[in-house]
Structure formats: C-alpha cells, structure tokens
C-alpha cells in the first residue's frame, strides 16, 4: 500500500501564511498535477510533502506515518524529490551523479547496478559527459534519472520541464506521469494544457488552499479554473485530444 495523505497542512514563513490547511489523499497508481497561479503554494505544498519544510500545523503522512517524524534516511527511501532548480556545485560526470544517487539507498554500488540504472533511464550515452556540457533537456533527464534511480514509491516533482523545447518538454512530462502507473507521481505543473493532457487527477491550488481536486475530465470544464487564474480558457477537441489554453484576461 502506498498512500500519501496531506492533513490540514499549514505552512508559515515569518508573518506570511503560505498554506492554509491543505488536505488530500493520493494512492499508488495515480498521477497528479498540482496547478494554480504564482504564489498559490504549489511548491510549498510539494516541499512539505517531501519533508523539506516542517508544517506549522497539520501533517503529511506516508502510509499512516508522519513524514516529519521519519528519519531523513527512511524518508529519502520512500520519496523522490525533483527540485525546480538543480545545479551541482562542482562540475561532475553523469556516471558520478548516478553513483551518488544510488548510494542513498545502498552503501556499496556495484558497476552493474550503475550500468543498469543508466540504461533503464535512457542516459547510457551521457555516462561520461560532464554536467556543464549537457543541454537543458539532457540535464532534466539526468536529474529525473538520479531521483528515480532508487525507485522510490513516491515521486514529487517541481516543474522540471518549465524551460525546455516542446519535444523535450513532452518527453519529460510523459516520463513524469508514466511513473504514476506503477507508483505515485505528483507534479507541480505550470503548463496547464500538459497538466490536463498527461495526468489522471488535478489538484487546483489558490491562496494556499486546495480549491478543486478531481479527475482530470471533471476539472477540465469547471468554471473555477477561470476564477482562479483570472483568464478565459479556450478549450478545443481534436479527436480524443482535449486541449486548454489561456485566451484573454478576465477583469476581476
């Protein structure tokens, strides 16, 4: 059983409240996109689920255990977290990044394990490349491979595809949502259209609250999207592909 449960999570930063009691439950086999305007608390929610932020009240629970009370090592073994920005401090080879990533679950990493991990995540050809020589798309693929190297049951990703070209972006979003077929994948998405096309479930955040939570098809038509984002969306259907794009700004 893999269940991730957010119970009334409140996060404060000095005097500002970033999350006002966010709650939802997610299970294995789900791919969930978190969407919402800037400052809605998407990244904050993701970080408190990952145990990187301690909620002022409420809790994130993994299979009935509070994530805040878990040891750092056991938390890291169940939750894979993909940060929004990643840049190693020293220029480093891809193989070494994977080595370090594999070591978080086992002290000794054999050569075969490393080879398997590189192959599984399609980054075999990048093996001996230095980080500084990788393109944006390659960097994101390596980052995802690093996080997924230990096959964590939960993947939490913070818009890792934000500034990629269309092909890399589609490939990345496809990989992220596909992980939710066998595990649980929760991704903060800025591209609303891709969020609706690739994920099973949408979590809409506004002002630190979950204002809509449901199957993608149900949220797709909901007028609350217009209210929250303050834009009118253009929804079109081509065969069985439904797209949604911002049209014009709605005066509030």
Partner 1 sequence: MVRYWGTLALLLICAVLFGACAGHTWVTPADVLSAAMGDTSMQAMLLREWRLPRVVAALLVGALLGLGGAIFQGVFRNPLAEPYLLGSAGGAALGATIALLVPLSLSQSFALPLFAFLGAWGATLLVIGVARTAGALDVPTLLLSGVAISAVLGALRSFLMLALSDETVSLQVVLSWVLGGMQTPTWGGVGILAALTLVSLFACIALAPGLDRLGLGETMATAYGMDVHRFVMLAVLVAAATVAISVSVGGLVGFVGLAAPHIARWHLGPLHRVVIPASAAIGAILVTVADAIARSALPPAEIPLGLVTAVAGGPFFLLLLARSRKW
Which residue ranges make up the site for partner 1 (CB under 8 A)? 50, 52, 71-77, 79-81, 83, 86-93, 96-97, 99-101, 103-104, 130, 147
Q: DSSP strand E in 216-251: where?
A: 231-238, 241-249
Q: Report, in Å, the least distance between residue 142 CB and partner 1.
A: 12
Burial of 203 (0-12, 13-18, 19+ CB in 10 A): buried
Q: For partner 1, which is the closer residue by CB, 55 or 198?
A: 55
Residue 58 vs 80, nearer CB to partner 1:
80
User: Nearest distance from residue 26's CB to partner 1, in Å?
Assistant: 18
- Residue 25, H or E segment: strand 16-27
**CB closer to partner 1 out of 74 and 135:** 74
Pairing type for strands 154-158 and 79-82 reads parallel
Contacts of 246 (CB under 8 A, 6+ apart): 192, 229, 231, 232, 233, 234
CA dihedral 76, 149, 89, 123 (to 10 degrees): -170
Of the two residues 130 and 221, which places its CB atom closer to partner 1 in the complex?
Answer: 130
Q: How far is residue 14's CA from residue 17's CA, in Å, rounded to a whole number?
A: 8
Write down the least CB distance from residue 104 to partner 1, Å: 4
Least distance in angstroms from the C-beta of 220 to partner 1: 32
Residue 2 vs 52, nearer CB to partner 1: 52
Q: What share of the chain is helix, strand, coil (3-state, %, to 5)?
A: 35, 35, 30
- Our CB check for partner 1 shows the closer of 147 and 202 to be 147
CA quadruple 113, 116, 118, 123: dihedral, nearest 10: 180
* In the complex, least distance from residue 48 CB atom to partner 1, rounded to whole angstroms: 13
User: Least distance in Å: CB of 140 to partner 1?
Assistant: 14
């Amino acid at each position: 059983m893999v269940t991730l449960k957010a119970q009334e999570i409140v996060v404060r930063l000095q005097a500002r409240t970033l999350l006002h009691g966010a709650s939802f439950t997610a299970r294995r086999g789900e791919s969930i996109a978190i969407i919402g305007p800037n400052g809605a608390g998407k990244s904050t929610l993701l970080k408190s689920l990952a145990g990187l932020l301690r909620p002022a009240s409420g809790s994130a629970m993994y299979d009935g255990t509070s994530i805040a009370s878990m040891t750092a090592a056991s938390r890291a073994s169940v939750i894979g977290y993909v940060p929004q920005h990643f840049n190693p401090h020293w220029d480093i080879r891809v193989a070494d990044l994977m080595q370090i990533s594999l070591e978080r679950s086992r002290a000794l990493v054999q050569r075969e394990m490393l080879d398997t991990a590189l192959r599984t995540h399609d980054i075999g050809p990048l093996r001996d490349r230095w980080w500084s020589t990788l393109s944006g798309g390659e960097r994101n693929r390596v980052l995802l491979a690093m996080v997924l190297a230990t096959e964590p049951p939960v993947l939490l990703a913070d818009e890792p595809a934000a500034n990629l070209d269309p092909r890399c972006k589609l490939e990345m979003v496809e990989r992220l949502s596909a992980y939710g077929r066998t595990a649980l994948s929760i991704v903060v998405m800025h591209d609303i259209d891709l969020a609706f096309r690739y994920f099973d479930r949408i979590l809409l955040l506004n002002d630190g609250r979950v204002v809509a939570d449901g199957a993608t098809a149900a949220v797709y038509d909901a007028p609350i999207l217009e209210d929250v984002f303050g834009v009118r969306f253009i929804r079109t259907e081509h065969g069985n592909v439904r797209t949604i794009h911002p049209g014009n700004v709605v005066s509030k």
